[in-house]
Structure 1
Amino acid sequence: MTEAMTWVQTIVLGLVQGLTEFLPISSSGHMRIVSEVFFGTDAGVSFTAVTQLGTEAAVVLYFARDIVTIVRGWFRGLFHPEHRGDLDYRMGWYVIIGTIPVGILGFLFKDEIRTVARNLWLIATMLIVFALVIAAAERYGRKRRDIEHLTLKDGIVMGSAQALALIPGVSRSGGTISAGLFLGLTREAAARYSFLLAIPAVVASGLFSLPDAFEPAGGGLVASGPQLVVATIIAFVVGYASIAWLLRFVVNHSMYWFVGYRIGLGVIVLALLATGVVSAT
């Protein structure tokens, strides 16, 4: 069963998307939790994917200079072999290759992502389980290698970790940053590559989901065209601020702050489910 989205829901969900997209706490998990707890229904995977276009636009703007440099370096390396050792050329390939796992798995399991993966029991469990993964990465990662030392192996491993974020509750940035820490990257280097790596996958997902956002196959909230635009703009503005904050934060603070938050939220959601306050589906 579907119902029309209100403007209050539009604004709240746009804010949630912008605030949580880049933090290692799972934006898709938060969108699902907030829509169920406060509105009694599911905003839907398509609405989430479309509003992510706003946060990815924020990434493109924030890293515009880096992106232009990488694209130029990649094309220069294609036609001039002597430049293929440059970081920009290699980074272009790392982003392309790192995007393949999430593209393949997202296509193969698109139906499950829209249905069973949005069960709140699963989301709450993933919040807690991957909090422990993040804690382990923070504890055992050496954090010695900066972005200049990124390798193809790093790109493949972090790209595979990004694919885990297809499950709400895991977190795209949490998975990729944790993988980077396990590989010995600094928090800042892992976060920067994580943001760049997300651009192709999220943009493709958002465009692919755009038609379904108006008529969710599984029911839930249905947004109008103006509401989708407003939610996406809100996500863009708030997301831009979130990027700047997180990159400053990870330089001087550990990931344990997010670990505690994830575990606390996961426990609260499990308690709400166990007492019947909210529905899992």
Structure 2
Amino acid sequence: MSTIEIIILALIQGLTEFLPISSSAHLILPSQLLGWADQGLAFDVAVHVGTLLAVMLYFRKDVGAMFFAWSNSIVKKEHNGESALAWWIIFATIPAGLFGLFGKDFIEEHLRSAAVIAITTIVFGLLLGYVDIKGKQTKDIKSLGFKGAMYIGLAQAVALIPGTSRSGITMTMGLMLGLTRDAAARFSFLLSIPAIAMAGSYLTFKLVLEANGVDWQAIAFGSIVAFISAYACIHYFLILLDKLGMMPFVIYRLLLGAFLIWFVM
């Protein structure tokens, strides 16, 4: 991979991992429009590491509080809001793990086309716009409850279908359940931590099984670019969310989906 390919693909991954606009819809564009070769497993691992470090660093206080509270809930049987949130996130991650385990081959074979990505980009973009307008937006994260967390976890499993957007559909479900925009986004970001970790671990396992050499310089550079772009994305998205709402992202998804439909016709 050239330096410009590394920068562009790492930026795409870092930004689209957390914006509700679908990373798969964007990652298909360089290969389809520019004829770039697949970036390979090693680079996928690199950008997953970068985005995982970004979200963990940004929410380090929340992650630390949840970890210690969760540990106390096991060792000392002490429970509070942070331990409950940690358990919600753990259980809400299970549907995506199971769907990925049993549905991965089917998705890879039948659902990774530009046509599918175009349709899901538009459909789930419209759904996001609808709930952003109609949602009550009165609840904070701790009002979500176990059942609400599992609904968002099931939505995250659907995001394995390319073009859906993991962050987009989890925020959509959060808004549908009455969360504020900020609460829906924060829960989506916290829920991404085990999801990205699982995906990264799976890709790392596959990479270890491969006999091909690894360009460690490209991996390091890709990780750094993905980390910086993802961290900045989370920071400014949360700042601008209440001012802009979801509608700019909805409009962008509709335009992107229309472009993809035009491209594949």
Cα distance, 1:115–1:214 mapped onto 2, change above 3 Å: farther
**For residues 32-43 of structure 1, what are the structure 2 equivalents within 5 Å?**
32-43=28-39
Residue 168, structure 1, aligned to residue 162, structure 2: yes
Cα distance, 1:266–1:215 mapped onto 2, change above 3 Å: farther
Q: Deviations over 1:96-134 (max 9, x none)?
A: 001000000001122233343221111111110111110
Contact 1:50 1:213 in 2 (8 A): no
**For residues 60-209 of structure 1, what are the structure 2 equivalents within 5 Å?**
60-81=56-77, 83-84=78-79, 86-209=80-203
Contact 2:119 2:257 in 1 (8 A): yes
Aligned to 1:254: 245
Off by >6 Å, runs of 4+ in structure 1: none
Q: How many residues align?
A: 263
Cα distance, 1:223–1:141 mapped onto 2, change above 3 Å: farther
Q: Deviations over 1:23-47 (max 9, x none)?
A: 0001122112233212354446774
SS at match of 1:109: helix
Contact 2:24 2:162 in 1 (8 A): yes
SS at match of 2:111: helix
Aligned to 2:21: 25
Which shifted more, 103-112 or 184-193?
Answer: 103-112
Determine the C-alpha separation between the residues in 1 that align with 2:47 and 2:106: 20
Which shifted more, 109-118 or 21-30?
Answer: 109-118
Contact 1:102 1:162 in 2 (8 A): yes
Q: Which runs of 5+ in 1 are unaligned?
A: 217-221, 275-281
Of 221, 224, 228, which aligns to 2:219?
Answer: 228
What is the CA-CA distance between 1:50 and the residue it aligns to? 4.4
Aligned to 1:57: 53
Instruction: Using structure 2 for the length normalisation, give the TM-score.
Output: 0.92
**Aligned-partner residue type, residue 217 of structure 2:** P
**Aligned-partner residue type, residue 185 of structure 1:** L
Instruction: Using structure 1 for the length normalisation, give the TM-score.
Output: 0.87
Alignment RMSD: 2.1
Contact 2:24 2:117 in 1 (8 A): no
What is the CA-CA distance between 1:259 and the residue it aligns to? 0.6
Aligned to 2:264: 273
Determine the C-alpha separation between the residues in 2 that align with 1:260 and 1:45: 32
Determine the C-alpha separation between the residues in 2 that align with 1:239 and 1:33: 19
Q: Percent identity?
A: 38
Contact 1:165 1:172 in 2 (8 A): yes
Q: Which runs of 5+ in 2 are unaligned?
A: none
Determine the C-alpha separation between the residues in 1 that align with 2:254 and 2:209: 34
What is the CA-CA distance between 1:231 and the residue it aligns to? 1.2
**Aligned-partner residue type, residue 256 of structure 1:** M
